[in-house]
């Protein structure tokens, strides 16, 4: 219940939530805000959750501005900006007596005023009536937040000009005027926000997880993508399509997921570096193609963006429920590698590495992300974009070339049609060294053994240990739980606890068991209902995970929630 609270000085961290309907243009504010904050020397992180609607419903965006680096969702709302009539009901349990609520009086139910809520009513419609009304509300809110957060107004204005210049001078001018009015309004609000600036932040790059995956793919030499749209994976397809001319990428929206994965395999066969991007339901249709990649020893890069299942589930929410699907997809035995980035820099790095590993070892590599990772916006250092040399593992074929030549490593020289004088014969049936169909039992056994030893020389990405090196309690997490676990550990301030962040979830890195054995208590944190990674760890190390902290309602863990649950677990 809301009651009138004391004035709060926001000098360390502030959580601002925008709540409105689909179609109101929150995306415009999001993209501009993080860039403005970064260029103004503010450390910021943006996450969002939205209903599966084109119009209406209720979508929210949380912007955290902090004196320290942050990369997690918090439940607390310090400043709520209400942009629609249904913008508060779902957020009621996140409000506190200290929450400031800004919005039109008609959008804020009377009950909040009756119980002493800290409400600042603003008539947005009247403020923008002469400009064209709600069409310019985003720039008005942008100006208000720029003023409240003491951002560089010239930077903000240049961002508006860049955003709207294609629509003509009149639209640019009206948006700048709306921005100015919002900025002037902030000066009359007397909301005490004083988040310190950090000069090192100014040169960082703002981007979301989708962009990180796409940029990493380009860095890995991706020049072909075939996919069928499916949330939350579609953004990678769209992003690469936007960059296709600049980076010479062939982009194909396939008729379905079965066609997409087979197009990708055909592209690798022809010499391209190719990928697909999909979600759980789409990947389920690709599993036969996964087996085909395993049998013909084709490189393959699959971006699997997780969302809550089964079936359609919650198509616009987040979950880590597809690890087992990625682990066991496809019939028969063949090697694979699975990466799960937990922050944006790893999104770039692992996406790039997926292409390198797929090409070098001729195996499928799966990049596991989720809606929270893909749609959140943060910043990364420019150094992540430094150029590096791509190694091409294609060989020129001789007339006696054998595609599946037996080698000690299990990796056969990979040729492509038209490069050399050899015949590049591949087949989904079991085959001999030259690629021709065989039913010889000895050859069958030799070929399976050959395929299964291909990763023998692969160099694992070991889990990153964060926290006290002499730990007795080990928190285990993978993928997008990275940020929230890091912040929870900071809040706990215990010298006996550490966090093992797994960015390679399969094969389990060689140091996994030793890392786990050093802990007396092991706690797994996962956004799924069954503790899928904990199950894999127990199966492969024979070590128990004493506690599984799980969440599977479609939302990520909040920092407060996870801190409380870890504390409660350790007090048992």
219, HSE (Cβ side, Cα atoms, 13 Å): 21
What is residue 469's predicted lDDT score, i.e. its pLDDT? 93
Output the pLDDT for position 2.
Answer: 35
- pLDDT of 113 above 80: no
Burial 191-227 (b: 16+ CB within 10 A, else e): bebebebeeebeebbbbbbbbbbbbbbbbbbbbbbbb
Mean pLDDT of 431-450: 97
Average pLDDT over residues 80-104: 90
Q: Residue 5's pLDDT band (boundaries 50, 70, 90)?
A: very low
User: What six digits make up the tokens of 342?
Assistant: 């937990």
Q: Residue 134: which pLDDT band, with cuts at 50, 70 and 90?
A: confident
| Residue range 91-101: mean pLDDT, rounded | 90
Those residues with Cβ within 8 angstroms of residue 272's Cβ, 6 or more apart along the chain or in another chain = 223, 224, 250
Predicted confidence at residue 1, as pLDDT, reads: 30
Give the residue from 454, 452, 410 showing the smallest Cα distance to 433.
410
- 401 Cβ contact list (under 8 Å, min separation 6): 413, 415, 420, 421, 422, 423, 424
The yes-or-no verdict on residue 537 having pLDDT over 90 is: yes
Torsion of Cα atoms, 367 then 368 then 369 then 371, to 10° = 130
Checking if the pLDDT of 180 tops 60, the result is yes
* CA 498 – CA 467 distance, rounded (Å): 4
In terms of pLDDT, which residue wins out, 9 or 431? 431
Q: Which of these ranges, 142-151, 191-200, 299-308, 370-379, has the smallest mean pLDDT?
A: 191-200
Percent with pLDDT over 70 in the chain: 98
- For residue 507, whether the previous peptide bond is cis, meaning omega lies within 30 degrees of 0, is yes
pLDDT digits (tens, 9 = 90+) for 8-17: 578 889 999 9
pLDDT at 408 over 60: yes
**43 contact partners, CB below 8 Å, separation of at least 6:** 37, 65, 66, 67, 68, 69, 70, 198, 201, 379
Q: Bridge partners of 365?
A: 301, 337
Query: If pLDDT is split at 50, 70 and 90, which confidence band does 53 have?
Result: confident
pLDDT tops 60 at residue 514: yes
**Has residue 222 got a pLDDT over 90?**
yes
Rounded to whole angstroms, the Cα distance separating 433 from 472 reads 51
Angstrom distance (rounded) from CA 267 to CA 273: 7
Question: Going from the N-terminus, what domains does the chain have, and what CATH number goes with each?
Answer: 13-201 (3.40.920.10), 206-385 (3.40.50.970), 464-570 (3.40.50.920)
pLDDT tens readout for residues 546-570: 999 999 999 999 999 999 999 999 9
For residue 7, the model assigns a pLDDT of 56
Query: Which of the four pLDDT bands, split at 50, 70 and 90, describes residue 387?
Result: confident
pLDDT per residue as tens digits for the range 262-287:
999 999 999 999 999 999 999 999 99
Q: 418, 419, 423, 448: which is closest to 435 by C-alpha?
A: 423
Residue 428, pLDDT > 90, answer yes
Distance CA 26, CA 33 (A): 11
Q: Tell me the average pLDDT across 408-418.
A: 98
Query: CA angle 404-393-270, nearest 5°?
Result: 70
Mean pLDDT of 190-196: 87
Over 80: is that where the pLDDT of 96 sits? yes
Per-residue pLDDT at 194: 86
Task: Encode pLDDT of 452-474 as tens digits.
Answer: 999 999 999 999 999 999 999 99
**pLDDT band with cut points at 50, 70 and 90 for residue 58:** confident
**Sequence-separated (6 or more) residues with CB below 8 Å from residue 337:** 354, 357, 358, 361, 363, 364, 365, 366, 455, 458, 504, 506, 507
pLDDT at position 3 is 40
pLDDT of residue 26: 73
Pair of tokens at residue 257: 């997921």
**What is the residue-averaged pLDDT of the chain?**
94
């Amino acid at each position: 219940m809301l009651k009138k609270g004391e004035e709060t000085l926001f000098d360390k961290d502030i959580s601002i939530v925008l709540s409105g309907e689909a179609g109101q243009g929150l995306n415009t504010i999001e993209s501009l805000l993080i860039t403005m904050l970064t260029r103004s020397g503010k450390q910021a992180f943006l996450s969002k959750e939205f209903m599966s609607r084109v119009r209406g419903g209720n979508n929210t965006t949380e912007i955290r501005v902090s004196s320290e680096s942050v990369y997690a969702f918090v439940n607390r709302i310090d400043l709520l900006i209400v942009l629609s009539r249904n913008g508060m009901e779902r957020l009621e349990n996140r409000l506190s007596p200290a929450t400031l609520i800004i919005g039109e009086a008609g959008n804020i139910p009377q009950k909040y005023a009756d119980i002493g809520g800290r409400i600042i009513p603003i008539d947005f419609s009247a403020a923008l009536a002469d400009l064209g009304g709600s069409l310019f509300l985003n720039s008005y809110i942008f100006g208000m937040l720029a003023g409240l957060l003491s951002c560089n107004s010239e930077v903000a204005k240049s961002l508006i000009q860049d955003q709207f210049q294609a629509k003509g001078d009149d639209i640019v001018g009206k948006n700048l005027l709306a921005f100015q009015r919002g900025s002037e309004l902030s000066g009359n609000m007397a909301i005490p926000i004083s988040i310190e600036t950090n000069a090192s932040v100014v040169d960082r790059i703002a981007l979301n997880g989708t962009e990180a995956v796409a940029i990493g793919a380009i860095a890995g030499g991706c020049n072909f993508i075939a996919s069928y749209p499916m949330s939350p994976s579609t953004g990678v397809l769209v992003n690469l399509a936007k960059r296709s001319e600049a980076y010479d990428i062939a982009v194909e929206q396939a008729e379905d997921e079965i066609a997409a994965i087979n197009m990708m395999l055909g592209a690798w066969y022809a010499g391209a570096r190719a990928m697909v991007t999909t979600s759980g339901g789409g990947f389920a249709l690709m599993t036969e193609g996964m087996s085909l990649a395993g049998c013909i020893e084709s490189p393959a890069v699959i971006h699997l963006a997780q969302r809550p299942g089964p079936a359609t589930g919650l198509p616009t929410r987040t979950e880590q429920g597809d690890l087992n699907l990625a682990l066991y997809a496809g019939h028969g035995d063949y090697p694979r590698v699975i990466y799960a980035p937990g922050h944006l820099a790893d999104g770039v790095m692992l996406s790039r590495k997926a292409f390198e590993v797929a090409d070098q070892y001729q195996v499928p590599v799966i990049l596991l992300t989720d809606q929270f990772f893909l749609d959140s916006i943060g910043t990364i250092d420019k150094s992540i974009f430094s150029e590096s040399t791509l190694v091409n593992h294609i060989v020129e074929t001789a007339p006696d070339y054998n595609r599946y030549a037996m080698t000690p490593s299990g990796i056969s020289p990979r040729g492509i049609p038209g490069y050399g004088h050899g015949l590049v014969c591949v087949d989904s049936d079991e085959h001999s060294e030259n690629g021709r169909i065989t039913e010889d039992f000895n050859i069958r056994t030799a070929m399976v053994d050959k395929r299964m030893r291909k990763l023998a020389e692969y160099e694992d990405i070991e889990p990153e240990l964060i926290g006290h090196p002499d730990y007795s309690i080990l928190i285990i997490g993978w993928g997008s739980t990275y940020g929230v676990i890091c912040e929870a550990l900071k809040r706990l301030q215990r010298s006996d606890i550490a966090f093992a962040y797994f960015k390679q979830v399969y094969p389990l890195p060689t140091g996994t068991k030793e890392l786990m054995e050093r802990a007396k208590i092991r706690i797994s944190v996962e956004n799924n209902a069954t503790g899928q990674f904990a199950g894999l760890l127990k199966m492969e190390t024979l070590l128990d995970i004493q506690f599984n902290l799980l969440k599977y309602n479609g939302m990520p863990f909040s920092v407060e929630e996870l801190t409380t649950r870890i504390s409660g677990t350790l007090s048992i």
